[in-house]
Amino acid sequence: MIKKTIRDLIIISAVFAIATEILFGYLSSVNKMDSVYRNWDGPGYILVAKTLYDPNLINRINPFPFTPKYWTLTYPLYPVFIRLFSFIGYPQSMILVSTIFTLLFIIAFYFLLRKLNPQANALVVCLLLIFYPPRWFIVSHVGSSEPLFLFLEVMFLIFFMKKQFFLSAICAGLAAVTKANGLFLLAAVSIYGFLEIFIWHTKSLASGVRQYLPFLLVPVFPAALYTLYYFRFGDFFSYSHSMSQYYYFIWGHFLGMFTHIPAGDYEVWKEGLVYTFLIYLIAIHILVQKKQYLVAIIGGIYYLGIMQITFTDISRYFLPLLPMAFLAYANGLSKKPVYLAMLLCVPLVYLYAIGYINFNVAEAIP
């Protein structure tokens, strides 16, 4: 078993390295990786990594039409890692951090899948996870906090299932300063704990309190971040104020993605949005059927949160549900006709990624 695990991890790492080299090799030959470095939201992470929210520094190097307080929307853990490796250059460090945590996430998911579904072919599923969904293939190869977030999310689940609740809580806390929706992990644990103690009666109140007590640490992480915001900007709630200023959230407003008047021909074709919502909803239902309730609750909370968003790049907002979807569909993905078809379509993923990366670029890098 150990030999098989080592062999699988070597194969996963090798395929990931080759896949990354092919993409970066082409893009570097075209524009010397400029489109990768300038791809949104990468330049914003570089700005935070360089300034650590110092308003004076932001004003000095900010090439974008946003106030210093706007950057409180960019949470710090990913920029901190960028700064840590900045001796190789900030843009290069950003891509290095993204690729490292992408591989770590896939490896962590391999062990999570082996634990929750030993019947699935974990090697095949993880090889597919390198490329699919196509929006993930893009996000994992540009400046983005999703690879780090997904790694922490999966480690949170692994530690929770090993009953190492303190480490699970630490991962959830770190996720909460990687992306704002990391706090959803605390909400999911709270709901799951309530069900265990008061509905299913699988735990006594005393044992439940002991088990879930470490998760009181989770809100300490964003509280510390908001304290930093207070000292930088004089506003403890600057994240919320910036969010309300620059974005509009209302329950059910996601329907606007389907109903607003298109700005051009490109925006007419929204059939993919329907499939995206459907695929993830089915995944949550499958997880409930398999009695993987904590994973299903996490997916359900994220799903409800996404229903407050009006943005046609919804496939990126669904990425926190990526582990849940692959857990749900693992048996199907392990079937030869399915994974062969998906592997045959990998060239299409590359074509989509190259087009998107070359299009979605910022004007400059701070």
Domain span at 92: 2-359
Whether the per-residue pLDDT at 30 is higher than 80: the answer is yes
User: Which residues neighbour 291 within 8 Å (Cβ) at sequence distance 6 or greater?
Assistant: none
What pLDDT shows up at residue 3?
Answer: 93
Q: Which residue has the higher pLDDT, 92 or 270?
A: 92
Question: Phi first, then psi: what are they for 361, rounded to 5°?
Answer: -120, 150
What percent of the chain lies above the pLDDT cut of 90? Answer: 84
The DSSP 8-state label assigned to residue 121 in this structure reads -
What pLDDT shows up at residue 268?
Answer: 57
What pLDDT shows up at residue 244?
Answer: 72
pLDDT bin (cut points 50, 70, 90) of residue 218 is very high
Query: Which tokens go with 241?
Result: 């104020």
Q: Write the DSSP assignment of 185-198 as a string of letters.
A: HHHHHHHHHHIIII
Residue type, 331: N
What pLDDT shows up at residue 110?
Answer: 99
What is the Cα–Cα distance from 53 to 153, expressed in whole angstroms?
Answer: 25
Task: Give the containing element (helix H, strand E) for 21.
Answer: helix 2-31
What is the Cα–Cα distance from 4 to 43, expressed in whole angstroms?
Answer: 40
Whether the per-residue pLDDT at 153 is higher than 90: the answer is yes
Instruction: For residue 45, tell me if it sits in a domain.
Output: yes
User: Which residues neighbour 27 within 8 Å (Cβ) at sequence distance 6 or greater?
Assistant: 33, 35, 36, 354, 357, 358
Q: What is the pLDDT of residues 47-86, one digit of tens each?
A: 999 999 999 999 999 999 899 999 999 999 999 999 999 9
Model pTM score: 0.95
Q: What is the pLDDT of residues 31-57, one digit of tens each?
A: 889 999 999 999 999 999 999 999 999
Q: What is the pLDDT of residues 228-279, one digit of tens each?
A: 999 999 999 999 888 776 665 544 455 656 655 544 545 556 788 889 999 9
Mean pLDDT, the chain, rounded, equals 93
Q: How many structural domains does the chain have?
A: 1
- Asked whether the beta carbons of 136 and 16 are under 8 A apart, the reply is no
pLDDT bin (cut points 50, 70, 90) of residue 195 is very high
Instruction: For residue 24, tell me if it sits in a domain.
Output: yes
Query: Which tokens go with 42?
Result: 């990468």
Whether the per-residue pLDDT at 183 is higher than 70: the answer is yes
Strand partners, 39: 361
Instruction: For residue 366, tell me if it sits in a domain.
Output: no
Instruction: For residue 226, tell me if it sits in a domain.
Output: yes
Instruction: For residue 9, tell me if it sits in a domain.
Output: yes
Instruction: For residue 70, tell me if it sits in a domain.
Output: yes
Instruction: For residue 365, tell me if it sits in a domain.
Output: no
Instruction: For residue 364, tell me if it sits in a domain.
Output: no
- Asked whether the beta carbons of 61 and 54 are under 8 A apart, the reply is no
Residue type, 49: A
Whether the per-residue pLDDT at 154 is higher than 60: the answer is yes
